[in-house]
Structures are given as C-alpha cells and as structure tokens.
Chain A
Amino acid sequence: MSEPVPLSEPVPLSEPDRPIALVDLLDRVLGGGVVITGEITLSIADVDLVRISLRSLLASVTALEPRS
C-alpha cells in the first residue's frame, strides 16, 4: 500500500467545495445514479459491489490503524 487513502477530510462549512472524501463519493457512485439493467455487460446492481467495496475499504482502514 502506497499512500494512505484520504478517508474523511472534513469539509469545513465555510468552504463547501471539493476535495471529496472517498467514503462520501462511494455512497453516491455506488449507491446513487441511474441503474439500468438488461443488455449490459455489468451493472453494479448485478453484484453486491457495495458490500465488496466496503469490505476492502474496511480492511484497508484496519491496516492503517496504528492499533486496534
């Protein structure tokens, strides 16, 4: 693992703009957006990718924790 993943950089109220925390982004790109099924090679709806990604996210966070 190279760089630690920026998990939640709190966005201050005075500056409501990017950069974006990865968790907030994943909430949206994996949990939102239009889902179209059929005639498609892969749609996120076909697999429980949210769970998969969160699992890898969790594993990575655990690895980053100094102690737990």
Chain B
Amino acid sequence: MTEHYGSWLYAVTRQAGATFSERLTGVAGEPLHAIEESGLVAVAGSVPLSSFGDEALRRNFEDLDWLGAVARAHDAVVDAVSRAGPAVPLRLATVYLDDERVRLVLQHRKDDFARVLDRVAGRTEWGVKVVFDPARLREPEVAAAGGGTRPGAAYLQRRRTELAARDREERFAVEQAEKIHSALSALAVEARRHRPQSPRLSGNAKPMILNAAYLVDDEATREFTRAVAEQDGGHAAIQLQLTGPWPPYSFSSLEEPAP
C-alpha cells in the first residue's frame, strides 16, 4: 500500500527564502520546507497520514508520550522560526492534504495573517502562573475563642470560624489574582488568561489562581520581568512563576480581538 502524505503546518512568517538547519526536523522527523504565497511563507513538513491523518491523530493523541513528543517537536520548529523573525504559530495538528491547499489558505487569509504578524512583531509572549498557599495566610488558631462549656456549641463555633476563614481565603485569592493580572497587563500590549492548571497537572499541590499570558514589547522585557519579581515578593502566601519567552501562541487568533 502506498503511503499518503499531508502538509503539517508549523508557522507562517514573511521570511522569504527561509532555510532551515538540517538538524531541525518536524513532528515526524521530516525535513522542513517553505511554502511561499502572497508575500507569506508557511513553514511545513510532509507527514505520513498513517500516523498524522485524521483517524490516526485522534487515536495517537490519547497516548500522552506521543502527544508530548509531538507537542515538543512542533514547538521546537515554531520557536526556531519565531526567533528568526515575526511568526504566527499554527495550532497543533493543522494538516492539509497538500501544499497547494496551503497556498490557497495563505491567499485567502493573507490580510488576517498580515494583521497578526504586525501585532506580534517586536513582541514576545511571557507566561505567568500564580499559586496561592492558604497556610501562609491563616491566622493563629483562635481555638479558645467562645470556648463554651457544651461540646456541641464549641464544635459549631469552630466550624463557623473555619468557614469564615475559607471565605476570607477565597476572597483574598481572587483579589490577588485580579491585582496581579491588572498590574502585569498594564505593561503588556495584550493579555490573555488561560484556565488555571489543576494541582494534579501542575505538580504543585497549592491551588493556581492565575494562569495568564502577556504579549510584551521587547524593549519592555526587563520592566515586565521586574514587575513579576516584585509581585512575587508582594505577599508570603502568593508565588509567581514566569515562563517563556514563548512564540506568540496565545495571541495568534486570526479573528479580530473583541473590542
């Protein structure tokens, strides 16, 4: 049976005549090639549809090791391309039947791509995750408070205190997340909140209260990272984690941003 191939897209840039290091290969270990059309260049690789076609991908994506390896390989190409100049990353698993169809898409969406390329040029995405440690907020136990004689009353009192404390913690967490997000957004051109990662996924037992991405002017990088460090030192119960620099994954929607 002959193997069929599709065109896996990594990123779209304006770097005409793009060449790639031979060591840089794609998700299937394939060499990369450039598809040029309408002043745009799509960086693509030919991948076997037996592994990267519709049905195969649905199956393979259930395999975490496979997904992890493919995600990292995709990112390695996107990262290399975006380090060379403004680039718009494609979402994982954007596979066309052939390069001709990719050309048509570049033709049809050239204005949209141009707009996004202009928006991300000279800017970098940074990730900030904020975790909250309630234990560092808790006041010393007020166990003796209202120490009634009846055990039932004491229990109710303790329970009320606990509930009030949890309430306070939740309010504090929301306030901190808003405060940090607005302080960092003020230094960014655009900001986007991802869903906070569950403690099981993040590997951190403390709850994540903010998982955000910021598109920052390259000249403002130092100012931004300093602001992150400052927020990190702001309160003992709050910890910030900076990730990046990222290709502008979180800011590459072709749709107009909501006003």
Chain A residues with a Cβ under 8 A of chain B: 1-2, 5, 7-8, 10-11, 13, 16-17, 20-36, 39-45, 47, 49, 52-62, 65
Q: Which residues of B contact A36 (CB under 8 A)?
A: 90, 94, 105, 109, 254
Q: Which residues of B contact A1 (CB under 8 A)?
A: 65
Q: How many residues of B contact A (CB 8 A)?
A: 65
Quick check: A33 and B92 within 8 Å, CB to CB?
yes
CB within 8 Å of A: which B103-126 residues: 104-105, 109, 113, 116, 126
Chain B residues with a Cβ under 8 A of chain A: 6, 12, 49, 53-54, 57-58, 61-65, 67-68, 71-72, 74-75, 88-97, 101, 104-105, 109, 113, 116, 126-127, 129, 194-195, 197-198, 200-204, 211, 213, 225, 228-229, 232, 240-246, 249-254
Q: How far is the CA of A31 from the CA of B97 in the complex (A)?
A: 23
Q: Which residues of B contact A23 (CB under 8 A)?
A: 197, 201-203
Using CB atoms, name the residue of chain A closest to B12. Answer: A34
Q: Which residues of B contact A47 (CB under 8 A)?
A: 58
Rounded to whole Å, the gap between the CB of B172 and the closest CB of chain A is: 22
Quick check: B232 and A13 within 8 Å, CB to CB?
yes
Q: Which residues of B contact A52 (CB under 8 A)?
A: 58, 61-62
